[in-house]
A and B are shown apart, each in its own frame.
Chain A
């Protein structure tokens, strides 16, 4: 266990989500854009269409500045944010897949060095040599996708790894192929918005402008349809029953689905209009489409993260970073029963041990211990203080605040809160609270202070 970083103003989990959505937008763009550029460059070489190079040059510069480097930066950003928000979760992935990530690093190098070479050698090497660079970018970018999907899907469906502990069993897991197929298809939708943005910055009347907008939009719409079909008929049916239950529960707010479906419909309509009226495409519309896609991706990525709850790695580690399964092949033992028998305080680093058992009944010490325990057990998914809130007028933006949830369930006294803590485990998206009865009482004391602060007059509110 590590120190808990709650976040500042914004909850730590939301930092991860924001950076992840941006990373997906940028990194997915690099894959399909590389294939689209390869398609155009092949036509430029084989059909003698040198006018396409103007588009390729603009696209390559944009991809170099925005997608490749920002994609890599946001990828590092995900590591940094997940490390700060959930270190044991990322540690599990690292200790299984470090060498797969090492392999992906080569693909990153190929991508970033490749796009630099691609852009700076346009017109300076023969077209056929340059076409080779386009091939390398397309294959290299797809290589990064093929690797990262194994690690991402492992978190949701670790498959046979739970029995064997072998990395290959975890990597090629039940949702690997459906996720790979769905992401690959949807990447072309993101690329369509990008290609329309690049093409629409060219003057009206440029001969290939409408041609590229139409081709990119057809490709994007096809990607969207194929992606939706893969979701409906392959990915969703492959999901574990538990994940489907969580998706249907209050753990995923209804607005998430409204954003995703709204984003898909708007994107489909936009692409359809582009196919019919390519000359009306404008840069501002394409930027708007990228914004819509960002929101839809944000919703989809949040859903993907939430549907694993209450685990960060399904069946192996809970969201609050405790190992919940034995993996004999790797010498791993579950921590749950030990913590229930011996208590959490003193058993995990950074949960300060009490010097004497009676300390847990000292009000002030009990409150402090309770806070440490609530941070460890609840803060991964909930706002447990006002540190992670942004006030907008009379409203506060927080992530599933514990005081509001307890109050809404009528748990407004220390006894009622303690009883509620004892009962947790009945929801599909939460594990039972760990620790001894005294520790639960300490947690209740801290939570009661939050609930009473919420309902008390302002002058009495602060401790």
Chain B
């Protein structure tokens, strides 16, 4: 059976190979996943908080809930856009896994985007029409439910990909193909609780501390309110850290055990919980926002690495190794990506700095200069990109 599955995975791999060394793609996959999961969990956390605070919160919490209501749809948008990169990279080196999972769960895979669109639209409806007076809570609740469903679908896809040995049975039990794709074939409740629910509390907590840190610098800052916000963020993070450990242990001793990774996962999650607890405990909630974000992003990098190790271990059972993935150095691809990375990062940095400075009243001169340079680079990049193909006519 092992031999058959090994052969199957090799046959499913795209004959073209990757256009760059597969290990680089693997690193990009993990790194971009960190960004994606941060915004996804932030969207869930912000939605949960807005709903709770409008329902049972005090005056300052309702004030904060209006901010959370504005944050939620923007975080969904950023979660979607940052999710494109890991989606690209996973298909490049794990094509058999990703495509098999998507076809076996085709109905939900297709429905996913409609679910996210529904969740996003309702979140915006709530922000624009409901949040000023705390009305339309149903929209916020339904939006949250849809976002959680979207998270569940992605969780099922990721898990279905981990078990190639069952794919044929799931596709055609007794040789009778099931082409509906409506069954959730594989899931792990501790894993989804860890990644989607508990992590959302931490992403929210860290963002609240960041909020307090940023707005305390303004002359018209309401320090009492910001102190309350920062303290709430810290409290949430400190409560979530041990929960992350508990659900992490459950994940390690269920799915982790299946792949012989439970000891190493237990160790990583214990260290991570200690890092989070110690890191947040002595943090000033009003000034420690940036440090809190750094600690949490580092932890997310650890989580992303654990996910990747599970996937790599699963397919290694069938002699499928990322490092062995066929590839050719397609230098044109590499150049396009590298050049765009430089231009893109410069423009994004400028946009972030304008947003940062706008809250303080004036954009600094060096930021304006960066803007001029970024626009020049972007224009030159676009011209180069369009003109490069004119060689067709030469």
Residues of chain A touching chain B, judged by Cβ–Cβ distance below 8 Å, are 1-8, 12, 15, 19, 65, 68-70, 72-77, 79-81, 83-85, 87-88, 90-92, 94-103, 105-110, 112-114, 116-117, 120-121, 124-126, 129, 132-133, 135-136, 139-140, 142-143, 146-147, 150, 159, 165-168, 171-174, 176-177, 180, 323, 327, 330-333, 348-350, 352, 365, 368-369, 371-372, 375, 379, 385, 387
Contact = CB atoms under 8 A, between A and B. Distances in A.
Contacts of A100: 333, 336-337
A98 B26 CA distance: 13
Determine chain A's interface SS by DSSP, over half rule. Answer: helix
A43 to B, nearest CB: 19
B363 A2 contact: no
A463 to B, nearest CB: 11
Interface stretch (B105-113, B223-231, B281-289, B314-322): B105-113
A94 B177 contact: no
B103 A109 contact: no
13 contacts: A3-B103, A8-B182, A72-B81, A74-B117, A92-B14, A94-B91, A94-B92, A95-B14, A103-B340, A106-B343, A108-B81, A113-B78, A143-B382
A113 B91 contact: no
B100 to A, nearest CB: 6
A354 to B, nearest CB: 10
B103 A172 contact: no
Tell me whether chain B's interface is mostly helix, strand or loop, or mixed. Answer: helix
A96 B84 contact: no
A166 B330 contact: yes
A150 B386 CA distance: 10
B1 interface: no
- Which 6 A-B pairs give the minimum distances between C-beta atoms? A5-B106, A106-B344, A172-B389, A77-B113, A103-B340, A87-B99
Given A126-B363, A368-B175, A96 B180 contact: no
Contacts of B381: 143
Contact of B179 (A101, A332, A379): A379
Contact of A176 (B100, B371, B389): B389
Contacts of A133: 351, 354
A338 to B, nearest CB: 12
Contacts of B309: none
B263 interface: no
Given A73-B80, A95-B14, A167-B333, 19 more contacts: A2-B100, A92-B14, A94-B14, A95-B18, A98-B25, A99-B334, A100-B337, A102-B85, A114-B347, A117-B352, A117-B355, A121-B358, A124-B358, A167-B19, A167-B330, A172-B389, A332-B15, A350-B167, A369-B175
Nearest to B112: A80
B177 A3 contact: yes
Given A72-B84, A350-B172, A80 B333 contact: no
B392 interface: yes
Interface residues of B, number: 97
Given A172-B391, A372-B172, A139 B386 contact: no
Contacts of A68: 77
Nearest to B35: A109
A125 B103 contact: no
Q: Which of B102, B109, B124, B175 has the most CB of A within 10 A?
A: B102
B267 interface: no
B142 interface: no
B77 A72 contact: yes
Contacts of B17: 95, 330-331
B378 A140 contact: yes
Contacts of B330: 99, 166-167
Interface hub of B74, B176, B354, B391 (most chain A Cβ within 10 A): B354
A98 B19 contact: yes
B333 A99 contact: yes
Nearest to B178: A3
A408 to B, nearest CB: 25
A112 B333 contact: no
Greatest chain A CB density within 10 A among B177, B332, B350 is at B177
Nearest to B28: A102
B63 to A, nearest CB: 18
A90 B175 contact: no
Contact of A121 (B82, B326, B345, B354): B354
A120 B358 contact: yes
A5 B103 contact: yes
